[in-house]
Amino acid sequence: MPIKTSRSAFNGRYLATATLAVLMAACADTPIQKAHAESPVKTPAPSSSPSIPIAQPPEPVAQEQTFNQWKQQFRKEAITSGINEALFDRAFAEVVPDPGILRADSSQPEFTRPVWEYLDGALSSTRISRAQRLLGEHASTLTAIEQAYGVDRHILVAIWGLESNFGSNMGDNYVIRALATLAHQGRRPDFAHAQLLAALEILQHGDIAPVSMLGSWAGAMGQTQFIPTTYNSHAVDFDGDNKRDIWNSSADALGSAANYLKVSNWDSGQPWGAEVALVEDFDYALADISVRKTLAEWTALGVRSAQGGPLTFADDNQTASLLLPAGYRGPAFLVLNNFRSILRYNNSTSYALAIGLLAERMQGRGEIAASWPKGDTPLARSERLELQRRLKEVGYDPGGVDGIIGANTRQALRNFQIALGLPADGYPSKSLLEKLRTFQ
């Protein structure tokens, strides 16, 4: 899974040295609007953007120390913090920087997949049938996990399926090497530094042997793709062998995911949300994860079930947010507290939507009634940068020109749409960019 992080500082440097014309020349097409904030479980953002890396951005953060100098300094610090010397040396034996990790860290994909293509992959018939088979094979474990944590088994199996393809794709990087490379020379050395110390603590605890501590290039580990700090705070030994083995024990992995969702305020017995239909003149400015209303309030505003009837949930007192993943021309979803718990696992609305829908597909539900606007290709990164720059030029502050469509950019887009009398969905469409190009 690709990793998204805040890149504003980096982007600032990039734009200072490269003209927009150069950026534009490299581009053309697509992407998707998604959350980019940091996720507590892993360095975020999977899926939505399994993208096509094109341009290689400039050098990562300049470092003054050689790797060996950095390692000696880090060794002292690790030992001071309680890591055993022999363990440190064993973990770091033959560790040298990995250029592939640095390339992955500095890659900023120009093209990302539209949400409907991402969902097609996430909800493939192969994945659904494998999930259904695994639900049967692990039924007794899942029953015990549901009893212990109150988290629905279908959601857990969906997370298992999207994080590591049910344990078959956990990443094959030695986590200590990957994190050491990033702590020495990555874009976010402080983050990698903390993760590396946590990874050494895991080894010292004896949960896994160094040689078996494998994960993604960014250090997300095992069947749940937990980063080391999340592992230390939330992984559990569910199969009772005194090791928290999220690599080799599916019971430990599923139990750990359930534990994480439970502490992320999972509401037992509640759904994640549902597709809805909206009245013709709906106020699309309300469709934002930050806007929360009760079911009664949404109903009064013209939100209906996808089939057109009244909305009902098991707990009608919950507040919900309305999401339009592809803008007002695409499907609409009302999302509840459990959707927010999934976002804490991985802060991407596309990911959380895929988890909710995959869990339903396993049970023969979860088809989306409305159509996606497939002719409306999402903006490429260079186009998002242009959109933000143009918004700023005409007086709608996007909160920074970084190619990331966050809350400030959505609000700026909405204000621009309102000024033009357009549906204020805050969605960065091509037609809106076209309008900005001609707007004075």
How many residues in the shown chain lie near Ca ion by CB under 5 A?
Answer: 7
| Contact assessment for residue 110 and residue 380, using Cβ atoms and an 8 Å cutoff | yes
* Nearer residue to Ca ion within complex by CB, 243 or 304: 243
Binder among 110, 201, 239, 425 for Ca ion (CB under 5 A): 239
* Nearer residue to Ca ion within complex by CB, 239 or 386: 239
Which range touches Ca ion (CB under 5 A), out of 25-33, 83-91, 128-136, 241-249?
Answer: 241-249
Which range touches Ca ion (CB under 5 A), out of 33-41, 49-57, 187-195, 252-260?
Answer: 252-260
Tell me: does residue 252 bind Ca ion (CB under 5 A).
yes
Tell me: does residue 207 bind Ca ion (CB under 5 A).
no
Tell me: does residue 241 bind Ca ion (CB under 5 A).
yes
| Contact assessment for residue 54 and residue 380, using Cβ atoms and an 8 Å cutoff | no
* Nearer residue to Ca ion within complex by CB, 152 or 252: 252
- Alpha-carbon span 184 to 65, nearest angstrom: 8
Binder among 130, 243, 329, 430 for Ca ion (CB under 5 A): 243
| Contact assessment for residue 6 and residue 38, using Cβ atoms and an 8 Å cutoff | yes
Closest residue by Cα to residue 270 from 295, 236, 251, 291: 295
Tell me: does residue 206 bind Ca ion (CB under 5 A).
no
Buried/exposed code over 5-19 (b: 16+ C-beta within 10 A; e: otherwise)? bbbeebbeebbeeee
Tell me: does residue 275 bind Ca ion (CB under 5 A).
no
Q: How many CB atoms within 10 Å of residue 153?
A: 20
By beta-carbon distance, which residue lies closest to Ca ion? 237
* Nearer residue to Ca ion within complex by CB, 239 or 402: 239
Least distance CB 205 / Ca ion (angstroms):
12
Least distance CB 237 / Ca ion (angstroms):
4
Q: What single letter denotes the amino acid at residue 161?
A: G
Which range touches Ca ion (CB under 5 A), out of 51-59, 212-220, 238-246, 309-317?
Answer: 238-246
Which residues 13-32 are close enough to bind Ca ion by CB under 5 A? none
Question: Kindly report the CA angle at 225 between 221 and 228, in degrees rounded to 5?
Answer: 50
* Nearer residue to Ca ion within complex by CB, 141 or 349: 141
**Six-digit token pair at 152?**
């629905």
List beta partners, residue 273: 335
Cα–Cα distances in angstroms (integers) from residue 100 to residues 145, 172, 177, 222, 287, in the given order: 38, 12, 11, 20, 40
Closest residue by Cα to residue 418 from 325, 281, 283, 328: 283
List residues near Ca ion by CB under 5 A.
Answer: 237, 239, 241, 243, 245, 249, 252
